[in-house]
A = this chain, B = another copy of it.
């Protein structure tokens, strides 16, 4: 039995499949981004795995028989990759890679290609002829342009400027104030120390108003979309023949992106957690070859 894990800043998905890739069970747990907590990452992975076993009617004690492929956010940082690799895990095997890698494997069923994820965060990844490239994946608040969290942050920045009379008024200010049930300086109180997930909840406000041609919202969405188009061009320049976009804001972003890029987009074939299973199988195979 194989377990595929997709761990991100918001949640962890685990799927249990048999040798023929038949889905046996699924489990969902909390965040698994070691950048924001190694302990929680370990807890989430273990819980998601146990829940997947349970949903398949398999005893939790069978964890130790599983071959696990896990793609996690944050492990593009070499230090975090090492910490998670050294985890004294409860599985038979634990193969670790980035959430980007498994998303790309899933999107193209293991074939070469590229993927852009625009959900709570943003990033791009391509894997062509054994060479991979990560673009973005820098995290909040200094990176992740064009992501849900970034749209939320820009909306809040604008609302604060406008409430000081230092930006043109726009329905976006009212919309942010209504969503947070606060005005002016009290907006700050509502968002102090907010997680990227909380910022991302404001993203649909900007998207909705951009659709209605509110100039302030259009400017924010266009800026984010231009960045994602640039990421896409960078990935295509690596020679990727297939490029997919996944994540919560990817659908709505596309109408603002470069038509040249959008025309190149292909539908993702499988979810990242299935990509994680592909990854585990490949790693196991290469271990067997080495042995």
Contacts and interface: CB of A to CB of B under 8 A. Distances in A.
Interface of A: 35, 76-80, 134-139, 141-143, 145, 153, 156-157, 160-161, 164-166, 185-186, 188-189, 191-192, 227, 230-231, 234
Given A166-B230, A185-B76, A234-B166, A160 B141 contact: no
Contacts of A138: 160, 185, 188
A234 B137 CA distance: 38
A204 to B, nearest CB: 18
B234 A143 contact: no
Contacts of A160: 138, 142-143
Nearest to A188: B138
5 contacts: A35-B192, A76-B185, A135-B166, A138-B185, A142-B191
Given A135-B164, A160-B138, A77 B230 contact: no
Contact of A77 (B142, B161, B185): B185
A191 B35 CA distance: 11
Given A142-B156, A143-B188, A164-B234, 14 more contacts: A76-B185, A78-B189, A135-B164, A136-B164, A138-B188, A139-B192, A142-B153, A142-B160, A143-B157, A143-B160, A145-B161, A165-B234, A166-B227, A166-B230
Contacts of A137: 185
User: Oligomeric state, in number of copies?
Assistant: 2
Nearest to A233: B166
Contacts of A136: 164
A189 B79 contact: yes
A289 B234 CA distance: 71
A18 to B, nearest CB: 36
A231 B157 contact: no
Contacts of A80: 189
Contacts of A185: 76-78, 134, 137-138
A199 to B, nearest CB: 9
A136 B231 CA distance: 33
A185 B77 CA distance: 7
Contacts of A234: 164-166
A153 B138 CA distance: 13
**8 closest Cβ pairs, A-B complex:** A141-B141, A142-B156, A138-B160, A135-B164, A77-B189, A142-B157, A138-B188, A166-B230
